[in-house]
Amino acid sequence: MSKPRNIALWAVQVLLFVTFVGTAVWKLVTPVEQLAARMPWMANTQLLYVTALFDALGGVGVLLPTLTRIKPKLAALAAVGLITLQLAAVVFHFSRGEGANTPFNFFLIALAAFVAWGRR
């Protein structure tokens, strides 16, 4: 693997880790009332906590295997999981008429696809 591509993969993996783990922490520590005021679907605490769990697992999974060099190919599988999670979020938002809220989801899909491809 070329050095620039490896550096880019590391940078994207760290970015995905920070984004997804940070989002999970935000969902868990911010009062539900505040979250629901910004995004009404977050009033459903079961959905909120399940998505926080998947965010955290995906964020850790996309970085930790490569970082520890223990089963590094699992990072590619975690990236596929993040793609799946974001595709589900896109479908969810479109089903609620919130299509305008999805560009960042598509950006995350592209980043995770790069990691899935690069770490396969």
**DSSP secondary structure letter of residue 119:** T
Indicate yes or no: pTM above 0.75. Answer: yes
pLDDT per residue as tens digits for the range 85-114: 999 999 999 999 999 989 999 999 999 999
CA dihedral 30, 34, 40, 41 (to 10 degrees): 10
pLDDT per residue as tens digits for the range 7-39: 999 999 999 999 999 999 999 999 999 999 988
